Structure formats: C-alpha cells, structure tokens
C-alpha cells in the first residue's frame, strides 16, 4: 500500500494548478482559491472511505465480474473521412490542423 493521505486532505492553490495542468483546464487566477476550497470540501467526504477496512479485498472494476469477448480480425469500417471532417474545426488536405507540434 502506498502512502495514505492524512484525513481531510487540504488542496492548496498550487496543487490545484498542478492538477489543472494535468487535466489541461485553465483556471483563471482569481478563481483558483475558490476552486481549491470547493475541491477540498469534496475531498473531505472521502474520510469515511479512508477509515474503512478494505484489507485483502480485490478491487472491483466491473460489477458483474464479466470477461472480455474478442472481435474477429476483419475490416468492417470503410473510408468516412468526408463525414467525419465535415464537423471538424480545422482541416486541410484531409489532415486535422493543430498549432505546431514541437518534438
């Protein structure tokens, strides 16, 4: 088990900005304190969970414990580029345009 955060985690402005960067969401500077306090309030709900004894319980991702079915390797999709690019914000020569990617 990794480190368990202390109860009632408090998320500060700096941490919110780090998370917002990971999520690629810009938060206006004058709002980050309010966002941080609301999120701290939400994280506060998680105390009861932190206290629960889950030792030895297998994590459950699917409520039915179902397993994956496999698809035969056949090509079923044709070229629908025109349909898809008709709703795209910026395309040229069949390519989606984005600001320059730097490697």
Partner 1 sequence: MHDQTVAQLARALRDKQFSSLELTEHLLRRIGQLDGQLNSFITVTDEQALDAARRADEALASGRAGPLTGVPIAHKDIFCTRGVRTSCGSRMLDNFVPPYDATVVRQLSDAGTVSLGKTNMDEFAMGSSNENSYYGPVKNPWNAALVPGGSSGGSAAAVAAGLVPAATGTDTGGSIRQPAAFCGITGLKPTYGRVSRLGMVAYASSLDQGGPMARSAEDCALLLNAMAGHDPADSTSTRRDVPDYCADLERPLDGLRIGLPKEYFGEGLNAATGECIQAALKELESQGATLVEVELPNSQLTIPTYYIIAPAEASTNLSRYDGVRYGHRCADPQDLHDLYTRTREEGFGDEVKRRILVGTYALSAGYYDAYYKKAQQARRLIRDDFLACFESVDIIAGPTTPGPAFGIGEKTADPVAMYLEDVYTLAVNLAGLPGMSVPAGFVDGKPVGLQLIGQHFDEGRLLNVAHRFQQVTDWHNRTPELAGGTA
Partner 2 sequence: MQFETVIGLEVHLQLATQSKIFSGSATTFGAEPNTQASAVDLAMPGMLPVLNERAVRYAVMFGLGIGADIGRRSVFDRKNYFYPDLPKGYQISQFSDPIVGRGTFEIHLEDGSTREIGITRAHLEEDAGKSLHEDFQGASGIDLNRAGTPLLEIVTEPDIRSAEEAVAYLKALHSLVTYLGISDGNMAEGSMRCDINISLRAAGSDTLGTRAEIKNVNSFRFVEKAIQHEIERQSDILEDGGKVVQETRLYDADRNETRPMRSKEVANDYRYFPEPDLLPVVLDEAFIEELRASLPELPREKRARFVSDYGLGDYDAGVLAASRALADYFEAVASEAGDAKIAANWVQVELLGRLNRDERDITDCPVPAAQLAQLIQRILDNSISGKIAKQVFEAMWNGEGDADSIIAAKGLQQVSDSGELEAMVEAVIADNPGQVEQYRAADEGKRKKLVGFFVGQVMKVSKGQANPQMVNQLLAEKLG
Binding test (CB under 8 A) with partner 2, winner from 22, 45, 49, 52: 22
Q: Total residues at the site for partner 1 (CB under 8 A)?
A: 57
Taking the C-alpha atoms of residue 52 and residue 44, their distance in angstroms, rounded to an integer, is 15
Residue 81 sits at φ, ψ, to 5 deg, of -55, -40
Q: Which is nearer to partner 2, 30 or 57 (CB)?
A: 57
Name residues contacting partner 1, limited to 81-100 (CB under 8 A). 83-84, 86-90, 96, 98-100
Among 7, 16, 101, 98, which residue's Cα sits nearest to residue 52?
Answer: 7
Examine residue 29 and tell whether it contacts partner 1 (CB under 8 A). no
Looking at residues 45 to 74 of the shown chain, list those that interact with partner 1 (rule: CB under 8 A).
Answer: 45-50, 52, 54, 57-64, 66, 68-69, 71
Which has the closest alpha carbon to 11: 37, 31, 48?
Answer: 37
């Amino acid at each position: 088990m990794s480190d368990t955060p202390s109860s009632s985690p408090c998320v500060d402005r700096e941490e919110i900005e780090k998370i917002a960067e990971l999520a690629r969401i810009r938060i206006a500077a004058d709002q980050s304190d309010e966002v941080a306090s609301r999120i701290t309030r939400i994280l506060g709900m998680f105390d009861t969970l932190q206290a629960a004894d889950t030792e030895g319980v297998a994590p459950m991702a699917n409520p039915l414990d179902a397993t994956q079915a496999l698809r035969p390797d056949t090509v079923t999709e044709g070229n629908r580029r025109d349909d898809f690019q008709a709703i795209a914000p910026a395309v040229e020569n069949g390519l989606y345009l984005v600001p320059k990617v730097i490697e």
